[in-house]
Amino acid sequence: MSHKKKTAVVTGAAGFLGSHLTDRLLKEGYKVIGIDNLLTGNVHNIEHLAGKGNFKFIQQDVTEYLYLPGEVHLVFHFASPASPIDYLKLPIQTLKVGSIGTHHALGLAKAKGATFLLASTSETYGDPLEHPQKETYWGNVNPIGLRGVYDEAKRFAEAMVMAYHRFHDMDTKIVRIFNTYGPRMRLEDGRVVPAFIGQALHGEPLTVFGEGRQTRSFCFVSDLIDGIYRLSQSDYHEPVNIGNPAEMTVMDFAKAILHITGSKSEIVHHELPADDPKVRQPDITLARQLLGWEPQVSFEEGISRTVEYFRDFLRIPA
């Protein structure tokens, strides 16, 4: 019986989620080929893997043709700008990686007879009129709004994955990722967790958009990656929500960050951005039933670990 390791490809491997996924796959015994053009990824996230025999890194844009020799058993397509600051600054690259990049990654999986998993997003639900959001909800998205470049890129990617599944009989999975946080996030990526932590640690005012009544549901990265790994091993093909259903307002989150960091920063209010979702909460019934998955890390523990990471990163003493 062969004990040869299986090979997984991770696009966006130097990103926040891609790097954590790579770590999990290596821990599970896979050989991993990471691909990233470093547009928004950072080699700092994978530098601890340098010299490891089971990890190979290729700097390449997945909107270019992907060729890899040898066997591939799993393809995880995680490449994409994923924060509003990034995709508003890189709108065309975001659309291309969601369309052409997905096409190339699917083509690689098809050529290798590999299982394919798409990192999709809760943004496919847009500014939802259904709460919490189930996988059966079709969404409320403005296709020509500023955020449409990301939302529609992911919706198109989902459609393409399902087309490959139905037309080519490929083994495909789709994960809809809700707000995730943890070590290796970029401080300046514009998302609320690193923004508030960075402001609190620097003693700057915390900027809350609108009155802060909009809600978010925060999932710690290790929980999210566990759900994604379980999904990759399942035989389910339609989208699955992975996220933490514990919902809180942005204002309550700002106060929690001030409490955990011990910061004396004040809270200031800025105008609400266009098409900013008013509510965001996953219905994870399907993930519970299908994968036996639910979040394990408490908000207090997860935020404390994330604050510790940023303190160390910024060399700010506790």
- In this prediction, residue 1 carries a pLDDT of 39
Whether residue 84 has pLDDT greater than 70: yes
Find out whether 49 and 43 touch, Cβ atoms under 8 Å: no
Q: What residues are paired with 206 via a beta bridge? A: 267
Whether residue 276 has pLDDT greater than 80: no
Enumerate the CATH 3.40.50.720 domain ranges in the chain, comma separated: 7-181+221-243+287-291
- In this prediction, residue 275 carries a pLDDT of 61
Q: What residues are paired with 33 via a beta bridge? A: 9, 56
| Identity of residue 283 | D
Phi, psi of 168, rounded to the nearest 5 degrees: -105, 0
Q: What is the mean pLDDT of residues 57-86?
A: 95
Burial of 235 (0-12, 13-18, 19+ CB in 10 A): exposed
Per DSSP, the three-state class of 206 is strand
Task: For domain 7-181+221-243+287-291, give the CATH superfamily.
Answer: NAD(P)-binding Rossmann-like Domain (3.40.50.720)
Q: What is the CA radius of gyration of the chain?
A: 19
**93-107, 193-207, 224-238: least confident range:** 193-207
Across the chain, mean pLDDT equals 94
Q: Give the pLDDT confidence of 17-40 residue by residue, as tens digits.
A: 999 999 999 999 999 999 999 999
Give the other-Cβ count within 10 Å of 50's Cβ. Answer: 9
150 a catalytic residue? yes
Enumerate the CATH 3.90.25.10 domain ranges in the chain, comma separated: 192-214+247-280+298-314
Active-site position among 150, 164, 181, 229: 150
Alpha-helix runs per DSSP H in the chain: 16-27, 84-89, 91-96, 102-112, 148-168, 192-202, 221-232, 250-261, 285-291, 299-314
Whether residue 277 has pLDDT greater than 80: no
CA distance 25 to 32: 7
Q: Give the pLDDT confidence of 139-194 residue by residue, as tens digits.
A: 999 999 999 999 999 999 999 999 999 999 999 999 999 999 999 999 888 788 99
- In this prediction, residue 246 carries a pLDDT of 92
Fold observed for domain 192-214+247-280+298-314? UDP-galactose 4-epimerase; domain 1 (3.90.25)
Q: What is the mean pLDDT of residues 11-22?
A: 98
Q: Which two tokens stand for residue 267?
A: 């809270």
**11-15, 38-42, 126-130, 227-231: least confident range:** 126-130
Q: How many CA atoms lie within 13 A of 311 on its CB side?
A: 12
- In this prediction, residue 292 carries a pLDDT of 98
